[in-house]
Amino acid sequence: MKHPVQVRPEDRSLSPQGQHGNPSPEPKPPLCDFLDLKAQFATIREEVMEAVTRVMESQLFIMGSEVRLLEEEIATQLGAKHAIGCASGTDALILSLLAAGVGPGDEVITTPFSFVATAGSIAWIGAKPIFVDIDPETYNIDSAKIASAITAKIRAIMPVHLFGLPADLDPILHLAKAKNLVVVEDAAQAIGARYHDRYVGTFGDFGCFSFFPSKNLGGAGDGGLITTENAALDERLRLLRMHGSKTKYHHDVLGTNSRLDALQAAVLRIKLRHLAGWTKGRQARAQRYRQLFAEANLLQQVKLPAIPPPQYEHVYNQFSIRCRERDALREFLRLAGIPTEIYYPRTIHLQPAFEHLGYGAGQFPHAEAASQEVLALPVYPELQEAHQAAIVAAIAEFYGTRQP
């Protein structure tokens, strides 16, 4: 293996001049952004500004027609009966658990390899997250291990469609039905992904989405949405997000303030029209990476995201490669001006905030190994072909599989 720039992990703590006076190499100018939302905005500027102006001129910022129309449009696009906007993806999970009546004393099965909000939402409402290790091929919860984690205290299963790849839903739904458990799909990273012939978020009792700006459908700030097929749950969710109120100053149940802003809804309505095209753009770039990695003879050194079987449609919110030398490769790429991210460098069960649950290192070996080895590369519709080629060429240079 050839490393043209030697970067040892300990070098990273050095000052720019190095502890012993050795100058650290200067990073090259950035090749591209990890995610270029400015480039996306340039393609929709007029439509978005028109929508923002419409809301500003109306001065109607709370609920109203923009939120209602977004809910209707997303429900139609996903083939869901009901869609309920809320303040964030985190709140979508919290409100779903509350609507299902999950609370203190209850336990919920989920994955330790996700953004913290997944298990965080369970702990936040006073229930206990019960972790099940991931399938190392897909990074999603290993559905074959769920049955043995079910006890009398388990009330729900929360699978995550991580990086945009649907979780193995059939066995999860089958188990949930047999054991009378609620299914809360964390689809925050997977809007538009299909499993069999349906969109994720429409399989469980609840589908939870995030409009965090870096998501495939990202707002101009925070936002979230829940889908459900059940009219009673729809009504309950609408109450919970508005202080338990249907009529002004009359509060049927204890709720909270978790509304989606009208401004966000207006922007998201514009962006929703582009989502299918953007998803195709992400998928095309993922496919291009696969070709480039193969052409550079890198498939031994670098594991690419598993090619999903035909019943799974991956929407590539992230394109995470995997390799043993992850940290050294990341530093090499940083010096080459190539941005990368790590989703996620520490599993949830090993986060200090979850220490009280009593989990320890070694309990979920596949998730823990993934957290040490995954590296997300830029993948977005505006990413240029030349950038992808340069990214893979730099990785080939790191491994010495191709001369620069």
Ligand X SMILES: Cc1ncc(COP(=O)(O)O)c(C=O)c1O
| Contact between 186 and ligand X per CB under 6 A | yes
> Given the complex with ligand X, which of 160 and 383 has the nearer CB atom?
160
Length of the chain equals 404
Contact predicate 389/397, CB 8 Å = no
The residues near 303 (Cβ < 8 Å, ≥ 6 apart) are 321, 322, 323
Query: Look-up: residue for tokens 């109607």?
Result: 60
Q: Measured on CA atoms in the order 345, 348, 353, 357, is the torsion positive or negative?
A: negative
Considering the complex, what minimum distance in angstroms separates the CB of residue 373 from ligand X?
A: 19
Give the range of 181-189, 261-269, 285-293, 357-365 binding ligand X by CB under 6 A.
Answer: 181-189
Considering the complex, what minimum distance in angstroms separates the CB of residue 390 from ligand X?
A: 28
> Given the complex with ligand X, which of 118 and 301 has the nearer CB atom?
118
Q: Which of residues 197-216 bind ligand X (CB under 6 A)?
A: 210, 212
Stretch 97-126: interaction string toward ligand X, x if CB under 6 A: -----------------xx-xx--------
Helix (H, G, I), strand (E, B) or coil at 268: helix
Tokens of 94: 């919290």
- Please, what is the end-to-end C-alpha distance for the chain in angstroms? 14
Q: How many residues bind ligand X (CB under 6 A)?
A: 15
| Contact between 279 and ligand X per CB under 6 A | no
Cis peptide before 343 (omega within 30 of 0): no
| Contact between 192 and ligand X per CB under 6 A | no
| Contact between 88 and ligand X per CB under 6 A | yes
| Contact between 74 and ligand X per CB under 6 A | no
Considering the complex, what minimum distance in angstroms separates the CB of residue 385 from ligand X?
A: 28
| Burial group, residue 238, by CB count within 10 angstroms (0-12, 13-18, 19+) | buried
Query: Residue 88: which of 199, 211, 243 has the closest Cα?
Result: 211
> Given the complex with ligand X, which of 226 and 321 has the nearer CB atom?
226
> Given the complex with ligand X, which of 185 and 331 has the nearer CB atom?
185
Stretch 224-243: interaction string toward ligand X, x if CB under 6 A: x-------------------
Quote the DSSP letter at residue 253: S
Residue from 90, 96, 138, 258 in contact with ligand X (CB under 6 A)? 90
The span from the CA of 5 to the CA of 226, in Å, is: 47
Considering the complex, what minimum distance in angstroms separates the CB of residue 23 from ligand X?
A: 38
| Contact between 85 and ligand X per CB under 6 A | no
Contact predicate 77/191, CB 8 Å = no
Q: What angle do CA 43, 71, 213 make, to 5 degrees?
A: 40
* CB-nearest residue to ligand X: 89
Report the interface residues with ligand X, using CB under 6 A. Answer: 88-90, 114-115, 117-118, 160, 186, 188-189, 210, 212, 222, 224
